[in-house]
Amino acid sequence: MTANPMTVWQLLALEPPGWGGALLSGAASTVAISASAFAIGLLIGLGGAIAKLAGNRPLVLTLNLYTAIIRAVPELILIVGLYYAGTDGLNRLLAAFGLPAVEVNGFVAAVAVLGFVQGAYMTEVLRGAILAIPVGQIEAARAFGMSPLLRFRRVTLPALLPNALPGLSNLWMSVTKDSALVAVVGYQELALTTRLAGANTKQYFLFFLAAAILYLAITLVSNLVVHWLERRLRRSQPVVA
């Protein structure tokens, strides 16, 4: 540590000779990637769960294949494979329509890939949560003549949320950490910024420690939010001692 004239606080300063600002914006883009991927995963998962439960045979088989493969293959391989396959496929599709190739934005690619992976896990979590709703509640809604959309909004959704919350919060925690894998395909979020900072200043230990603390802060804040949400969503449920 003595070889470098800059002190720890100078290294972590927000202004450019220090790397603090870069780390914080890396952390912001980690949160942005994770939140967007989580939202996309939620949409895929909701669609997947409803389709799986509706029971159209070829559709269910396809979805089973999707969830089984995604959950059996290492995340790193999925991210690298889908990253290349996704950009390559998109450009081939564009070429087929006679359009010029596009350079896919790193952020969009990262979100799409992580969202696609999250979707598989979400499908299973939400399917379980919907199955855990007492059938009588949904039948009652149907007996009142509610349209499927109204039934979903007023009965299914509020009833499934408390069931799904533990699974969903686990997935949120895992996507914030999986987003670090995007560093391997070269998108500059917190993990890659940290590595660059380390490589530039040779203070690897300091910067990785700082990054670990930032990730931990993200996790701990998420924990607080999840606790608050859980209390709120379960307010209609009987208290179990």
Partner 1 sequence: MKFDWLAKYWPLLIDGAFQTVALLVISVSLGFLLAIGLAFAQVSGGCVLRSLARWFSTVFRGTPLLIQLWLLYYGIGSLLPMVPGLRQSFLWPLLREGFFFAAVSFTLNYAAYEAEVLRGALLSVPKGELEAGRALGMSRLTVVRRIWLPRAIRIALPTIAGEVVLQLKATPLAFTVTVMDLYAVAYKIRQDTLLVYEPLLVVTLFYVALTALITRAFGVVEAQVPIRR
d(CA 154, CA 146): 9
As a residue count, the chain comes to 241
Q: Binding mask 172-191 vs partner 1 (x if CB under 8 A, - otherwise)?
A: -x--xxxxxx-xx------x
Task: Return the residue of 25, 158, 195, 229 that touches partner 1, per CB under 8 A.
Answer: 195
Pattern of binders to partner 1 over 132-151, x per CB under 8 A?
--------------------
Task: For the CB of residue 53, give the shortest distance to partner 1 in the complex, in Å.
Answer: 24
Choice between 34 and 156, CB closer to partner 1: 34
Q: Give the C-alpha separation, 144 to 135, whole Å.
A: 14
The helix (H) or strand (E) run that includes residue 83 is helix 75-96
147, 148, 204, 225: which one contacts partner 1 (CB under 8 A)?
204
Per-position b or e across 211-232, b if 16+ CB within 10 A of its CB: beebbeebeeebeeebeeeeee
Tokens representing 127 are 């399917």
Q: Are the C-beta atoms of 82 and 113 separated by less than 8 Å?
A: yes
Query: Quick count: other Cβ atoms within 10 Å of Cβ 73?
Result: 12
- When asked if residue 226 is in the footprint of partner 1 (CB under 8 A), the reply is no
Which among 185, 64, 13 is positioned nearest to 114, based on CA atoms? 185
Residue 99 found at the interface with partner 1 (CB under 8 A): no
The site string for partner 1 over 57-96 (x = CB under 8 A, - otherwise) reads ------------x--xxxxxx--xx--xx--x--------
- Contact between 234 and partner 1 (CB under 8 A)? no
120 scored as a contact of partner 1 (CB under 8 A)? no
Cβ(191)–Cβ(207) under 8 Å?
Answer: no
The CB-of-147 to partner 1 minimum distance in angstroms stands at 39
List residues near partner 1 by CB under 8 A: 69, 72-77, 80-81, 84-85, 88, 173, 176-181, 183-184, 191, 194-195, 198, 202, 204-206, 208-209, 211-212, 215-216, 219-220
